[in-house]
């Protein structure tokens, strides 16, 4: 199909079927059972859960609290720890800026923030914002495998370090960071540990309380729930300053009328994601390995990120002898995959660059994110599509067809 010139919309116009969906780190489909659970809360039971003066309001409040209880139980925290937000981006902003502002308000003197160069933009950008407003930021390099160097992290910690932020499961390269070991470095020094758990919650067992994580961000649409809802788990006793003032909802930490349908949907999605978590990971891990074998056979294909520990449903590869944008153009009609994250289109991934890949090799990379509904037949077809595209591009000497 597509030659090098045709654009995305033109190729969509003559596509026989929709492309194989292998971009589940960008988002996931909202589960039908989740849509069903949300249904009554839009138009029938539409009351504001803050309306305590009538029965519909109390019922909406009860639905929110039942959702909060379910989420808390699934993640091993107290219900009071759950703060609903619009997504992981907001949760990260609330955690990082909220902690920094609380430190200022209480007259504390900690001004130093530590993170990894490979973090999501939704962590890096709020931290860089703080660095422009009186805080000091250390962005640590990672190893070629994408994992934190614990000795380097320890060496970076200072008496005035306020927080460390490290992603639990990586949205591009799938690696799982050693959060418990990181927490062991932070806790005795009085340093708060934040983790962006958007790709981890519902996908791997994660108990923030047991691991020593003080703040954990999550997102509904990364775990087969609705878009526009997320959460921040806050360790009891830790104070963060609100970033949305008004209304007093969520213990005064996050103002705004609670989106009852989305909250109900998030709880249902998490319940379902936890229920088939292990079996899903086993199945998708098998398919992921099958895809890797197909790609490896092409020669000149390199895996990005540690082989373990990592998410079972993620594979990120760089491919020699092809140009990145030509490769994506070739595949566009058949596969929904991405090069790097969904949020950094155009530029080669800052994550792959931080692993030491050249611009060219970072651009010639593909991220495969398998999902709950991915089949063996789809993986076989995806492997064939990549093989055909790579062979054609290598033969054509980068020409694109």
Ligand X SMILES: *Cc1c(COP(=O)(O)O)cnc(C)c1O
Give, as ranges, the residues between 312 and 371 that touch ligand X (CB under 6 A).
none
> Which stretch, 83-91, 236-244, 286-294, 358-366, contacts ligand X (CB under 6 A)?
83-91
Select 137 or 381, whichever has its Cβ closest to ligand X.
137
DSSP state of 23: B
Select 89 or 249, whichever has its Cβ closest to ligand X.
89
Token couple for 373? 């509904």
Q: How far is the CB of 339 from ligand X (least distance, A)?
A: 16
Q: Strand, helix or coil at 191?
A: coil
Q: How far is the CB of 236 from ligand X (least distance, A)?
A: 24
Q: How far is the CB of 383 from ligand X (least distance, A)?
A: 25
The residues near 185 (Cβ < 8 Å, ≥ 6 apart) are: 150, 153, 154, 157, 164, 191
Residue where the block lists tokens 């930490």: 253
Q: What angle is formed at CA 307 by the lines to CA 304 and CA 311, rounded to 5 degrees?
A: 90
- Residue 103 as a binder of ligand X (CB under 6 A): the answer is no
- Residue 171 as a binder of ligand X (CB under 6 A): the answer is yes
Select 87 or 208, whichever has its Cβ closest to ligand X.
87
DSSP state of 332: T
Q: Strand, helix or coil at 373?
A: coil
Select 227 or 303, whichever has its Cβ closest to ligand X.
227
- Given 89, 192, 195, 314, the residue binding ligand X (CB under 6 A): 89
- Residue 222 as a binder of ligand X (CB under 6 A): the answer is yes
Cα distance between residue 23 and residue 109, in whole Å: 43
The answer to whether the beta carbons of residues 79 and 236 sit under 8 Å apart is no
Helix, strand and coil in the chain, % to nearest 5 = 45, 15, 40
Q: Strand, helix or coil at 112?
A: strand
- Residue 172 as a binder of ligand X (CB under 6 A): the answer is no
- Residue 223 as a binder of ligand X (CB under 6 A): the answer is no
- Residue 177 as a binder of ligand X (CB under 6 A): the answer is no
Select 61 or 229, whichever has its Cβ closest to ligand X.
229
The answer to whether the beta carbons of residues 179 and 207 sit under 8 Å apart is no
Write b or e for each residue in 143-178: b if 16 or more Cβ atoms lie within 10 A of its Cβ, otherwise e. eeebbbeeeebeebbeeebbbbbbbbbbbbbbbbbe
The answer to whether the beta carbons of residues 85 and 230 sit under 8 Å apart is yes
Q: How far is the CB of 327 from ligand X (least distance, A)?
A: 23
Residues 200-219, one symbol each (x = binds ligand X by CB under 6 A, - = not), give: -------------------x
- Residue 196 as a binder of ligand X (CB under 6 A): the answer is yes
> Which stretch, 192-200, 249-257, 308-316, 360-368, contacts ligand X (CB under 6 A)?
192-200
- Given 167, 231, 306, 389, the residue binding ligand X (CB under 6 A): 167
Token couple for 78? 């107290």
- Given 49, 70, 87, 340, the residue binding ligand X (CB under 6 A): 87
- Beta carbons within 10 angstroms of residue 253's beta carbon: 20
Q: Please tell me which residue in 6, 30, 186, 343 is annotated as part of the active site.
A: 343
Determine the size of the site formed for ligand X (CB under 6 A): 13
Cα distance between residue 290 and residue 38, in whole Å: 36
Please provide residue 86's backbone torsions phi and psi, each rounded to the nearest 5 degrees. Answer: -85, -5
Shortest Cβ contact with ligand X: which residue?
A: 87
Closest-CA residue to 5 (of 329, 332, 380) = 329
- Given 75, 122, 153, 263, the residue binding ligand X (CB under 6 A): 122
186 has catalytic annotation: no
- Given 70, 225, 230, 242, the residue binding ligand X (CB under 6 A): 230
Positions in the binding site for ligand X (CB under 6 A)? 87-89, 120, 122, 167, 171, 196, 198-199, 219, 222, 230
Please give the positions annotated as active site.
343
């Amino acid at each position: 199909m597509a030659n090098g010139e045709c654009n995305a919309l033109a190729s969509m116009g003559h596509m026989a079927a929709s492309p194989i969906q292998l971009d589940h780190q960008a988002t996931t489909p909202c589960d039908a059972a989740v849509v069903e659970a949300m249904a009554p809360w839009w138009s029938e039971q539409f009351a504001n859960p803050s309306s305590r003066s009538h029965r519909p309001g109390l019922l909406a409040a009860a639905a929110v609290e039942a959702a909060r209880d379910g989420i808390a139980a699934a993640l091993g925290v107290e219900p009071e720890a759950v703060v609903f937000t619009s997504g992981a981006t907001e949760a990260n902003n609330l955690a990082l800026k909220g902690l920094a502002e609380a430190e200022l308000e209480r007259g504390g003197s900690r001004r130093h923030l530590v993170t990894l160069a490979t973090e999501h933009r939704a962590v890096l950008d709020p931290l860089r914002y703080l660095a422009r407003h009186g805080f000091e930021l250390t962005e640590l390099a990672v190893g070629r495998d994408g994992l934190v160097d614990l000795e380097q992290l320890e060496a970076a910690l200072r008496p005035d370090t306020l927080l460390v932020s490290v992603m639990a499961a990586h949205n591009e390269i799938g690696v799982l960071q050693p959060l418990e070991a990181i927490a062991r470095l932070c806790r005795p020094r009085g340093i708060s540990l934040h983790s962006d758990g958007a790709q981890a919650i519902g996908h791997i067992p994660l108990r923030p309380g047991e691991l020593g994580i003080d703040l954990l961000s999550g997102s509904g649409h990364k775990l087969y729930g609705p878009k526009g809802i997320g959460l921040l788990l806050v360790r009891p006793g830790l104070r963060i300053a609100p970033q949305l003032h008004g209304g007093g909802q969520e213990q005064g930490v996050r103002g705004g009328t609670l989106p009852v349908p989305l909250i109900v949907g998030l709880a249902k999605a998490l319940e379902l994601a936890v229920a088939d978590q292990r079996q899903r990971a086993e199945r998708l891990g098998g398919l992921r390995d099958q895809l890797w074998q197909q790609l490896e056979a092409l020669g000149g294909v390199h895996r990005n990120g540690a082989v373990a520990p990592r998410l079972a449903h993620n594979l990120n590869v760089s491919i020699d002898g092809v140009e990145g944008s030509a490769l994506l153009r070739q595949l566009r009609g058949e596969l929904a995959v991405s090069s790097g994250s969904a949020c950094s289109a155009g530029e080669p991934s800052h994550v792959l660059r931080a692993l030491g890949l050249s611009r060219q090799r970072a651009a010639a990379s593909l991220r495969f994110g398998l999902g709950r509904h991915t089949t063996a037949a789809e993986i076989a077809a995806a492997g064939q599509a990549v093989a055909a595209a790579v062979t054609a591009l290598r033969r054509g000497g980068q020409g694109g067809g």
